[in-house]
Structure 1
Amino acid sequence: MADKFGPIFRIRLGTTHQTLVVSSSEIAKECFTTNDKVLATRPKSLASQIIGFNYTILAVAPYGPYLREIRKILFQELLSSSRIELLRPTRESHVRKSIKQTFAHWLKNKDAAAAAVGGGGVTVEMKQWFGRLIMNLTISLIFGEQEVEEEESKVHEGIRRMMELFAEPVVADFFPWLRWLDIGGHEKAMKQTAMEMDSFAQRCIEEHRRKRNSFNAKEEDFMGIMLSLFDGASNQSLPNGYDTDVVIKSTCLSILIGAAETSIVTLTWALCLILNNYNVLERIQDELNTHVGKQRCVEESDLSQLIYLQAVIKETLRLYSPAPLLVPHEAMEDCTIEGYHIQKGTQILFNIAKIHRDPKVWVEPDKFKPERFLTSHKDIDVKGNNFELIPFSSGRRICPGVSLGLQTMQLTLASLFHSFDTRRLSNEPIEMTESSGVTNIKATPLQALLIPRLASNLYG
């Protein structure tokens, strides 16, 4: 549609949604700068109400005092540079644990692997590998270490259902008078999923409060910090009408959904692209050999020197942004965009997939060329400052966990390629079919051959 109608066009979705589609970086810049505040709210939907915890999940919360207060708390208390640095040992330990488990799997199966076509490599399903690692790590950062092993699988499944339900075209959103029919059973599914996720988060709150009362435990995870803010001496206040427990649960789930899902999606596509381009893999490993060597493990302090790996992640986010359409915005009042009068209530969709492959900005836009971020586009970042590349959005609604997500993804890929020589199962390229939905996770499994490349004592 963007090819046919141009970089800005309007469509109507049902009887309720007048929708503007933006498909160029220049118009996106106008939206996120000149009109940033006007477009800072979200359209209401059945999913936002039910699985968005009555619009308290940050990604779907309307713009106003509540959103501003919670984002301020996030940036000051939970996602500040000092807090991210404080949690570095947790990230490193989880990544090393996954590497250690994979090495143990190789040890157990190395004889069979040596006789196989893979020449000593064990086959690992990498979508699951990334999923387990990132989910374990993220739950640990948010809810505490003790919850990880027991809850990881069910929570990951719940998040996937939430993302799928957010993406469902629910009839009631387009024709509200048909809501009572619950065509497709979406409302029932949303209520069930919301109940399961709420139950998990409530158990975590109760466990945190029990430990604080019993042991005077030091609060290090995100939920513990929020409980200290709202239950402790500081007694952080909320705008009228908001329940403290609901806000704590929804905020923690907001971070979990945003951090875990986008990281898993990006890591999966990055590995696909790298395995289809062995020259990129060789250059990553050369960089690791130079700056880390083979006598120790990768540490987060090494990441600033891994410039090429950073370029690989940027190029992955360009080609396979976790959300090909950003979460919709809504105009809070009449405004002008690209000279057009936009009415209050109009929904704005940012066509990221098109913006990131604009041939006027990107030479050979459909090709995987990380080198572009070392030369022609070396000054472009993904933190909302350059509108040619906005995988995490920009302006007032930019994802608050960008820095934490990038750190985690860089450490995971660096550790994987430093520890294992990673290969395709055959000479055929990795299949690249995307799934539909809010996030574009790879539709099919991702199997790879992993062969240890370090001394065995480094996997301990």
Structure 2
Amino acid sequence: MDEHLFFIYLLSLVSLILIFKLLIPKKGRNAAPTPPSLPVIGHLHLIGQPVHRVLHHLSSKYGPIMALRFGSRPVLVVTSPPAVEECFTRNDLVLANRPLLLSGKYLDYDHTTVGAVPYGRLWRDLRRIVTLELFSTARLKAYMGVRQDEVRSLIKSLSRDAWQDFTRVEMKSRIQGLSFNIIMRIVADKRFYGIEVDDFEEARTFKAIMREASEVSVASNPGDFIPFLRWIDFQGLEKKLQKLQAKFDSFSQSLIEERRSKHHGSFDNGKAKTFIDAFLSLQESEPEYYTDNIIKGNILTLLVAGTDTSSVTIEWAMSLLLNHPDVLKRARAEVDEHIGYQRLVEETDLTKLPFIQCIVHETLRLFPAAPLLVPHEPSEDCIIGGFHVSRGTMVLVNAWAIHRDPQLWDEPLSFKPERFEKMGNMGYRFIPFGVGRRQCPGAGLANRVVTSVLASLIQCFEWERVGEELVELSEGRGLSMPKNKPLEAMCRARQRMSHVLKEL
């Protein structure tokens, strides 16, 4: 036998033995219920797409706190509000870490972004910076003009295509373009979608990188759970991630250098115009701590997390409204009554539109952009629901299942926005943006974008389905639960709004 081949076989055998030892449960510990597993792969053979539905099916049989094993990695699946509350109150600090995954090595610049960095000083600093420079009340107000510009651009584009007659329009790309433009104008004062683009070559490069990022992010990596597959780079995912990071690194570095040159290397944090400017001002005082890689990783995190959540939610909301014309009619009546026909709805009007807020909440309940909350990992052994959870376990909260639990919601599968009209404190049964210290800090921004876009589309256009059949509501592949089939609808500018739309 070839000596090199013998070494591979021997290494594989040793790996299998080590993994099999990990699969033997430790005695004397109150472990959560678990389905039968297989050697080496554990429960991976049970997992299919969409994952949140598969886990919900298993939880309905084995309980709201269920133990699984994905290869060599222990997993705990939580699908009840009391268990979620216990996770993120009593155990919040213990569960403040994230699992270290292959994607985090490359797309999160060795786990140094606000979403992937282990709990500690760097996370606290990044969280503070992101909150102050992007999501604080002052910053949200400062960037309101950017968001309203992009909403108007979307309305202008649609009115140009569907002025007199009902026209078939594809919505996904338009909404995604709006979301990307909002984030990039905040990050680097640049637009890459629509007709008002300064550098079309730069925009083309950006779009190609984002397409590739979405394709890679959809892929799951077996190597995160079975070490041997990572060693051999099964399916070539690591090479793809390396190439993608190299492309994004070059692109984002050019954005950083452009902001440096505009400020001639000197930044006043009080006058920082963009997110990059804010980081560069901090870099002046602590260059070894706030490196360019830290900035680049967090730019990519904002692009991926800040665009998918908003665009996917708007697309789901419009799909639901097309399937429920009575709800759409009531929402339009609310806009007409409180805003009228003499001007476009603005963000400052959103408090006058409580029913449209209810539509957004109901959409997030049925189709949360993070059906499985971003995984947590305990830094030490802990107890959840009376069960022992070992350090290093991947803790998954199935928000999708909680949002559709018939014991928590009346007619949970029905689209009923009015259920939120008299809803008080929803506690841990409504968690579209996560909970605890590592919950999404961008909930306020996402809510403003989604609600203002939805109100504007309702105010300015008449909407109908493409045919008599209902809009398909099946879920596609991806962590943000996109629609399986991108939304197409029949759209026509409202005659009552024609004079306002002409002014655009």
Q: Which runs of no fewer than 5 residues in structure 2 stay unpaired? A: 1-57
Give the distance between the partners of 1:425 and 1:168, measured in 2 at CA: 32
Query: Aligned residue for 1:344?
Result: 391
Query: Aligned residue for 2:487?
Result: 446
Residue 417 in structure 1 maps to residue 458 in structure 2: yes
Query: Aligned residue for 1:434?
Result: 475
Give the distance between the partners of 1:215 and 1:34, measured in 2 at CA: 44
Give the distance between the partners of 1:162 and 1:455, measured in 2 at CA: 39
Give the distance between the partners of 2:430 and 2:397, measured in 1 at CA: 12
Query: Aligned residue for 1:175?
Result: 226
Instruction: Flag the 1:98–1:153 CA change in 2: closer, same or farther, 3 A.
Output: farther
Residue 137 in structure 1 maps to residue 192 in structure 2: no
Work out which of the residue numbers 171, 193, 199 in structure 2 matches 1:126.
171
Q: Which runs of no fewer than 5 residues in structure 1 stay unpaired? A: 111-119, 381-385
Deviates more, 1:213-222 or 1:132-141: 213-222
Deviations 1:276-300 (A, max 9, x none): 0001100110010011001111111
Work out which of the residue numbers 441, 456, 460 in structure 1 matches 2:498.
456
Query: Aligned residue for 1:2?
Result: 59
Give the AA of the match of 2:317. Answer: A
Is the contact between residue 140 and residue 147 of structure 1 (CA under 8 Å) also seen in structure 2? no
Residue 57 in structure 1 maps to residue 113 in structure 2: yes
Query: Aligned residue for 2:371?
Result: 324
Instruction: Flag the 1:285–1:91 CA change in 2: closer, same or farther, 3 A.
Output: same
Residue 22 in structure 1 maps to residue 78 in structure 2: yes
Rg comparison, structure with higher value = 2
Instruction: Flag the 1:225–1:362 CA change in 2: closer, same or farther, 3 A.
Output: same
Is the contact between residue 164 and residue 438 of structure 1 (CA under 8 Å) also seen in structure 2? no
Is the contact between residue 255 and residue 401 of structure 1 (CA under 8 Å) also seen in structure 2? no
Aligned-residue RMSD, C-alpha: 2.0
Paired residues, number: 436
Give the distance between the partners of 2:192 and 2:474, measured in 1 at CA: 34
Query: Aligned residue for 1:223?
Result: 276
Give the distance between the partners of 1:144 and 1:273, measured in 2 at CA: 34
Residue 291 in structure 1 maps to residue 333 in structure 2: no
Deviation at 1:435, TM superposition (A): 1.0
Is the contact between residue 267 and residue 277 of structure 2 (CA under 8 Å) also seen in structure 1? no
Deviation at 1:214, TM superposition (A): 8.9
Instruction: Flag the 1:378–1:368 CA change in 2: closer, same or farther, 3 A.
Output: farther
Deviations 1:114-163 (A, max 9, x none): xxxxxx21111011111111112221121113556345565455345435
Deviation at 1:328, TM superposition (A): 0.9
Query: Aligned residue for 2:89?
Result: 33
Give the distance between the partners of 1:258 and 1:351, measured in 2 at CA: 18
Give the alignment of 1:49-448 within 5 angstroms: 49-107=105-163, 110=164, 120-145=165-190, 149=197, 150=200, 151=202, 154-213=205-264, 219-231=272-284, 235=285, 237=286, 242=289, 244-375=291-422, 377-380=423-426, 386-448=427-489
Give the distance between the partners of 1:147 and 1:276, measured in 2 at CA: 32
Query: Aligned residue for 2:46?
Result: none
Give the AA of the match of 2:264. Answer: N
Deviation at 1:216, TM superposition (A): 8.4
Give the distance between the partners of 1:166 and 1:455, measured in 2 at CA: 41
Give the AA of the match of 1:226. Answer: F
TM-score (norm. length: structure 1)? 0.90
Deviation at 1:445, TM superposition (A): 2.2
Query: Aligned residue for 1:115?
Result: none
Deviates more, 1:151-160 or 1:6-15: 151-160
Name segments (4+ residues, structure 1) moved above 4 Å: 151-154, 214-218
Instruction: State, as a whole percentage, how many aligned pairs show the same letter.
Output: 38
Query: Aligned residue for 1:46?
Result: 102
Instruction: Flag the 1:215–1:75 CA change in 2: closer, same or farther, 3 A.
Output: closer
Deviations 1:53-103 (A, max 9, x none): 110222222111111111011222332101110111111111111111221
Deviation at 1:356, TM superposition (A): 0.8
Give the distance between the partners of 1:63 and 1:245, measured in 2 at CA: 21
TM-score (norm. length: structure 2)? 0.83
Q: Match of 1:329, SS?
A: coil
